[in-house]
Amino acid sequence: NAGVTQTPKFQVLKTGQSMTLQCAQDMNHEYMSWYRQDPGMGLRLIHYSVGAGITDQGEVPNGYNVSRSTTEDFPLRLLSAAPSQTSVYFCASSPAGPFGYGYTFGSGTRLTVV
């Protein structure tokens, strides 16, 4: 049981390049989210999904796209990387139910845009 797996762990991009951050969970969780965390700050929600085929924007969605074609995977796409997107990105998943048991977070992807 791997939990939430994020790849890659580190990435350096040039301004204008595109890339996809991968997130996979093997817990059959319905809810998945993407966050970014800048130095010394809290996490900010980028996009989230309440199930396969359903996504919505969070607090800071500009410059990012997501899709949820399967329960397990929730990739985050950077369309045209900018230095302002330099950050640590966390993916998280949570089960549904009458009582939430909390989100499980991945170990993060550290992205630098130069």
Which residues would be at the binding site for other proteins (CB under 8 A)?
Answer: 4, 31, 33, 35, 41-45, 48, 50, 56, 58-59, 88, 90, 92, 94, 96-108
Nearest approach, Cβ of residue 25 and other proteins (Å):
13
Nearest approach, Cβ of residue 67 and other proteins (Å):
17
Torsion of CA 59, 62, 65, 70, to 10 degrees: 10
Shorter beta-carbon distance to other proteins: residue 77 or 110: 110
Shorter beta-carbon distance to other proteins: residue 14 or 97: 97
Nearest approach, Cβ of residue 80 and other proteins (Å):
26
Shorter beta-carbon distance to other proteins: residue 17 or 31: 31
- For residue 28, what are its two tokens? 């059959």
DSSP string, 2-65: --EEEE-SEEEE-TT--EEEEEEESS--SEEEEEEE-TTS-EEEEEEEEETTEEEE-S--TTEE
